[in-house]
A and B are shown apart, each in its own frame.
Chain A
Amino acid sequence: EAGVAQSPRYKIIEKRQSVAFWCNPISGHATLYWYQQILGQGPKLLIQFQNNGVVDDSQLPKDRFSAERLKGVDSTLKIQPAKLEDSAVYLCASTRGQGSSYGYTFGSGTRLTVV
């Protein structure tokens, strides 16, 4: 089966600019997650979708971050305006069923550098 697809792989922007990341999960995977991984740290959850509904966005900085999953398939994560501390790898993951215990499959990530 095809893996989790993410684009772009790399992005460099200036602070205060906006940026968007795209994720296409494994076909048939109902649950989709966005994680932020700052260099030298473990991934940190930003948002969890079940089909096209938000299950958990408690750690999403909603003043600048937004995410959507229209039609329950692809998802887009947006940052507007970006800050220097947003420099990180943004990982998308999907699971077959509801909940993490089905096991995450991660995409290759988008490495964002804010200068």
Chain B
Amino acid sequence: GENVEQHPSTLSVQEGDSAVIKCTYSDSASNYFPWYKQELGKRPQLIIDIRSNVGEKKDQRIAVTLNKTAKHFSLHITETQPEDSAVYFCAAGYSTLTFGKGTMLLVSP
């Protein structure tokens, strides 16, 4: 089955800095790579996704890149704000999603 590794497990940045979270996957059949944001005690919410026929996607301050050859994808958040503080999960799959263990992002004012 699919195996997703996510790094780092925690990330602390100053407001206005950029944050990068990286994930690797094992199953070359995976064709969908979403990122979820989960605030404490709340449900995971989809923030951006990318499909295997695309190398990069951007939505305002967030972007995702995908390298199918190397089987890794990354989330980039620019101009971070305190409200970006949360746990971020990457996932990979085609029929079902396998999630990474999460990255706790802390943005200090």
B and A form one assembly: yes
A interface with B by C-beta (< 8 Å): 33, 40-45, 48, 55-56, 58, 91, 98-101, 103-109
Give the shortest distance, in Å, between A101 (CB) and chain B (any CB): 4
Cα A104 to Cα B98 in complex, Å, equals 12
Cα A93 to Cα B42 in complex, Å, equals 14
Name 17 interchain pairs, CB-CB below 8 A, sorted by A. Answer: A41-B101, A42-B91, A43-B44, A48-B96, A55-B95, A56-B95, A56-B96, A91-B44, A98-B95, A100-B32, A100-B94, A101-B94, A103-B46, A104-B46, A106-B45, A108-B42, A108-B43
A43 partner residues in chain B, CB cutoff 8 A: 44, 89, 99
- Of the candidates B34, B89, B99, the one whose C-beta lies within 8 Å of that of A103 is B34
Check if B94 sits within 8 Å of A99, measured CB to CB: yes
Interface presence of B31 (CB below 8 A):
yes
Q: A45-B97, A91-B43, A103-B34 are in contact. List 8 more A-B contacts (CB 8 A).
A: A40-B101, A45-B96, A98-B95, A100-B93, A100-B95, A101-B32, A108-B42, A108-B43
Cα A31 to Cα B102 in complex, Å, equals 25
3 nearest CB pairs, A to B: A42-B99, A101-B32, A106-B43
Check if A41 sits within 8 Å of B97, measured CB to CB: no
Cα A40 to Cα B101 in complex, Å, equals 8
